[in-house]
Amino acid sequence: MTSAVGFTLVQLRYFLVAAERGSMTEASAELRIAQSAVSAAIYNLERDLQVQLFIRRRGRGLTLTPAGERLRQQARDLLARAREVEREARGDGGTISGPVAVGCFVTLAPYYLPPLFSECTRLYPGIEIDVVEAETDQLVHALATGRVDFALTYGLGLSAEADLRSETIARAPAYVIISADHPLAGQGSVELADLSAEPLVLLDLPHSRDYFRSLVAATGTAPDVRYRTQSYEAVRSLVARGLGYSVLNQRPATSQTYGGGEVAELQLRDGGPPLEVKLVSVGGMTQTARARAVMDLLREIAARSAGV
């Protein structure tokens, strides 16, 4: 026999609304119940769990305690699962709908998001995808705070995050781009040492910058970083103008750049192991059916891109 639980789903719902609104008064207005009912539910929840969930300051609303922050994520997961159980019990579990918050590394977004939205609209029109585009550290924070259900990112910077669960869905080897009229443009492949005398146009994102620098440094030469930008397409446009070479991982479908010029892609013979593209989530968190459906779509998109 299962043991009794000392709190209710109603208490968790009231707690979540109060946490989101930062005010008992605003929570009661959204829930359309008396403020005293919200306050009593949260008081009883704190008593049952024997923790303080909010810091209450007169005139300054509610602030979550560390215990409250942890419970917010757990409560979101539990209520989402409860809604799934309800739909399945009613016999309409085959219809997957509702919001899914997806974190996406900025340079992966142009490659994965368009096919994801297209496929999701076709197969699951009831799912609403909300995307947070950011670099790795920001995505890790978004996962930890429950802002996103899962993230699509490179493996760079994830090794120290013990609380995260990751799955590799694709591998992206490094390659070189040079201007289309560069003397080496027709070679097909190159070693970084062959470009050591030329300036490097650096994609200047956290972790990415260190990765690209390390590739050049591994050849025994110091990279001459003449230009740097956080924009993937700005890197390509600078290279197309003959201002240097760059090292990237994702390959656009065209050699044309926003600036009107063209680049040539060369395989990198000394580029080291490819970067891993990963689906990352908080360890131990049970994903909703809709989040799992979106993750499956991303796996399929990655497999098609790899030609498998």
CA-CA-CA-CA torsion sign (238, 195, 181, 247): negative
pLDDT tens for residues 23-77? 999 999 999 999 999 999 999 999 989 999 999 887 778 889 999 998 988 888 8
Mean pLDDT (whole number) for 176-181: 96
pLDDT tens for residues 212-266? 888 888 888 788 899 999 999 999 999 999 999 999 999 998 999 998 999 999 9
pLDDT of residue 139 exceeding 80: yes
pLDDT tens for residues 108-127? 999 999 999 999 999 999 89
Question: Long-range contacts made by residues 55-63, C-beta under 8 angstroms, separation at least 24?
Answer: 61/22, 61/23, 62/18, 62/19, 62/22, 62/23, 62/24, 63/22
Tokens 């891109």 correspond to what residue? 305
176 CB neighbour count, 10 Å cutoff: 26
158, amino acid identity: L
Would you state the pLDDT for residue 246? 95
Would you state the pLDDT for residue 91? 45
Query: Angle at the Cα of 76 (from 169 to 64), degrees rounded to 5?
Result: 115
pLDDT tens for residues 252-271? 989 999 989 999 999 998 87
pLDDT of residue 93 exceeding 50: no
Would you state the pLDDT for residue 58? 77
